[in-house]
A and B are shown apart, each in its own frame.
Chain A
Amino acid sequence: MMLLVTSGVAPYLAQAESILDVGDTFIVPLLLKLAFVLGIFFVVPLVAGYLEHKAMARMQHRRGPVEAGPFGTLQLVADGIKFIQKEDLIPSAADKWVFAIAPGVALVPAMLALLVIPFGPGVFALDLELGLFYVLAASSVSVLGVLMGGWSSANKFSLFGGLRAGGQLIAYELPLILAAIAVAVQAGTLSLVGIVEAQAEFMLFGTGINLWFVIPQLLGFGIFFVAALAELSRPPFDMPIGDSELVFGYMTEYSGIKYAMYMLTEYAGMVTMSALMVVLYLGGWQLLPGVPLPGCEGAGGLFDCDVTGTLLGVVVTFGKIMLLVFVMVWLRVAYPRLREDQLQRIAWQVMVPLALLNLALVTIAKVVY
């Protein structure tokens, strides 16, 4: 909050220059940024989905998709086409308008979150000074779509699923935000680009050893990761879907393109959360701690890059994102679903106190050093 107050008169304005800000007109950068965000939104989740298909299959001694496209890479595209062709069913007892817009309400925030996430040196649509706040706020809106879908389906399983999702997202929002605040405290900024820069410049106390925030805030990273899994309703926190008890939770009555929108929300969420973790804890597009990207001159060797440095930075970021997505898949394969009471107990009795402890430690350390 203090940061917010002291940061100036226009905290919502862009801080750093994006490579998409070309020319003097308003419209060209706008269109470029739209295309950028939409491209990321519709492509990267499919890659993550393909990774999930393949990794999960191999862990289960299967081959995963093999027929659609080379090595089955176009399987999710084929699935998307299939979903578009399917009949769009709306239950007769459903609250039709709410039912219809609920997937969109869940989907759009996932898209909006991508607006401020930096994928490389200058590779972002916008660098808000309130970036972290914006991302967390936007992703929190998704739960509204889930609740709307669960309520309007006029199905008890959907309602259970929706309410479980609501309870779960509220419970895990808190540790997630507390962990993120600790990062903001350590970095001294809410801008995501600024956090990456802060990590490149962060030295172990009194030495010249560069470290990412994941080392001093290992506890915070763990909390953030678990809370992110729960936010996304990913196994082992997929009680809102809970196929064995709730049919398919809030998605029970959905089919066709609306169902596909919910699924896309999940995968886009995985990408967004992974990207956020990369930015907050894993040094952004920095290859290794203390190693500047070739062709970059700015702070920590991460800014004002040429083409090679930019491309390398993007590759590094996406590599880290996919690594985290893989870990999410790995956890999904390894662990059974938690019980609803276990989920709530972990959130309120373990995660929140630990997050507060983490925040306190970071704040004290920040003040001391």
Chain B
Amino acid sequence: MAPSAPPGIGLLKGLGVTVKHLFKRPTTLMYPHERDVLAPRTRGVIALMDENCTVCMLCSREGPDWGIYIESHKETVPPAKEGGRARTRNVLDRFEIDFSLCMYCGICVEVCPFDALWWSPEFEYSEYEMGSLLHEMEKLREWADTVPPPPPLEEGAVLPAEVSDALAKAEKERELVAAKELEAKQAAEAPTETAGDAPKKGKAAEPEIHVKAGEIDQETFDRLIAEGKSERMARAKAKAAYVKKEKARLLAEAEAAGGAAEPEAPAPKAAEVKVEAGEIDQETFDRLIAEGKPERMARAKAKAAYVKKEKLRLRAEAESDTGEGTGADEPAEVPSELGASPEAAKQALDAGDAGTAPAEDAPDVAAEAATTEAPAAKKLGDVHIEGAGEIDQEVFDQLIAEGKSERIARAKAKAAWVKKRKQAKLDEEGGA
């Protein structure tokens, strides 16, 4: 109010303001009838992705209201490699959040180092009784389906280290595949190389064995339920069994159609013949360098060749023990996929590869996979693997490279890990 204004003009101005607002539209949102679009980070309810949980108890301890209850037990996991050390693993038995205590501070979500807890914008879970606000693990798992994808990064933001690593790896793989193609062409030109067309075939067949997950294998599901397993576990396993079966079927079909099936078996398999990558096959390296390839490529290929060789060797050993190579499938390690070099094929022949081995290495393995996979898949459900926490780095990298979100990639990689372990156990039992 200006000093010269007559007294009381401010009072009239006040009335003017209120009467002006009388004719404005109310901002009310008629909630049950209309719904607002909530912000992506709305703190509605806390969701649990229990496969990520390592029972580190950080959330339970950090939460100021002490409303998270966790129970677990330890299990011993057999060594991943022959002669390795057995490890103990925490297995989550019970995870509850008491939302009648929760103050929605989000500290548990912040503090979780393994992305097991997430905020979901769902908020309509009021109850008539206080006790009903205690959400069990199953309920918290259901909330996880409502977690929105994380908001996109800002323009020019630095990607998370693991994502950028995976992208770099994918790029490298593409380079290697291109180089391998080139090499395969060269090999086909040379009349002495018998396995010339194997890599190409393998690559062509690779996308065929992509099975859409989602359906469940009813048989496995029923059996697991009958065994007294929880519905969630049964469902997950039945799903895995379905995928496994489908893949086996597709593989068999492909084999029947094309005569020579693809050499690459589906990814999560044959952990038994897992080979530590890192060393290089000096022979291959030298040859490639001599051929004038850049050092980096030569090293990568040599590495792959080494892995391939080692695997073949290990498998041969295993077969000589059991007489028959039922469990020894083609390993799915990404480096090994590009390892169908002539040297590796030769090495395989030298090592006296599995029973029916003709001159060609890759189709043989594929055939073997096709024949052994169906029974193996059926049995996969029987195997019980405790502890789901580690992820299959390759699958993770691959999915990231495919443009999947980190969360999905992680979840799938985890599933792949579990499957691999199961397969390994199965093979072990078969071997023993």
Genuine A/B complex: yes
The smallest beta-carbon distance between B12 and chain A, in angstroms, is 10
| A contact face: mostly helix, strand, loop, or mixed | helix
Q: Is B14 part of the contact surface with A, judged by Cβ < 8 Å?
A: yes
B17 at the interface (CB under 8 A from A): yes
Contact of A330 among B19, B26, B28 (CB under 8 A): B19
Tell me the residues in window 1-45 of chain B with beta carbons closer than 8 Å to chain A beta carbons: 11, 14-15, 17-19, 21-28, 30
- Which A297-333 residues have a C-beta within 8 angstroms of B? 330-331, 333
Q: Contact mask A43-62 → B, CB, 8 Å, 1/0?
A: 00000000000010111111
Q: Which residues of B contact A66 (CB under 8 A)?
A: 30
Q: Please give, as numbers and ranges, the residues of chain A lying within 8 Å of B21 by CB-CB distance.
A: 58-61
**Are B26's CB and A335's CB within 8 A?**
no
Give Cα A57–Cα B18 distance, bound, in whole angstroms.
11
Interface size class for chain A?
A: 10 to 19
CB-CB under 8 A from B23, the residues of chain A are 58
Question: Which residue from B11, B14, B25, B26 sits with its C-beta under 8 Å from A57?
Answer: B26
Q: Which residues of A contact B24 (CB under 8 A)?
A: 58, 61
Instruction: Determine whether the beta carbon of A55 is less than 8 Å from that of B14.
Output: no
Contact A63 B28 (CB under 8 A): yes
Minimum C-beta distance from A101 to chain B (A): 39
Which B residues touch A335, using CB under 8 A?
Answer: 11, 14
Cross-chain contact B26 with A62 (CB below 8 angstroms):
yes
Q: Which residue of A lies closest to B14 (CB)?
A: A334
Q: How many residues of B contact A (CB 8 A)?
A: 15
Q: Are A334 and B17 in contact (CB under 8 A)?
A: yes
Q: What A residues does B30 contact at CB under 8 A?
A: 63, 66
Report the separation of the CA atoms of residues A59 and B26 in the bound assembly, to the nearest whole angstrom: 9
Assess the A55–B22 pair: CB atoms within 8 A: yes
B18 proximity list for chain A (CB < 8 A): 59, 330, 333-334
B28, A62: Cβ atoms closer than 8 Å: yes
Give complex CA distance A2, B30 in Å.
Answer: 61
A61/B26 contact (C-beta < 8 A), A334-B14, A335-B11, A335-B14 known = yes
8 Å CB interface, A198-233 against B: none
User: B28 — nearest CB in chain A belongs to which residue?
Assistant: A63
Please name all residues of chain B whose beta carbon is closer than 8 Å to the beta carbon of A60 when the two chains form the complex: 21
Residues of B within 8 A of A59 (CB): 18-19, 21-22
30 A-B contact pairs sorted by A residue (CB < 8 Å): A55-B22, A57-B26, A58-B21, A58-B23, A58-B24, A59-B18, A59-B19, A59-B21, A59-B22, A60-B21, A61-B21, A61-B25, A61-B26, A61-B27, A62-B26, A62-B27, A62-B28, A63-B30, A66-B30, A330-B15, A330-B18, A330-B19, A331-B15, A333-B18, A334-B11, A334-B15, A334-B17, A334-B18, A335-B11, A335-B14
In addition to A58-B26, A61-B24, A66-B30, 17 A-B residue pairs with Cβ atoms within 8 Å of each other are A55-B22, A57-B26, A58-B22, A58-B23, A58-B24, A59-B21, A61-B25, A62-B26, A62-B27, A63-B26, A63-B30, A330-B19, A333-B18, A334-B14, A334-B15, A334-B18, A335-B11
The 7 closest A-B pairs by CB, nearest first: A63-B28, A334-B14, A334-B18, A63-B26, A61-B27, A333-B18, A59-B18
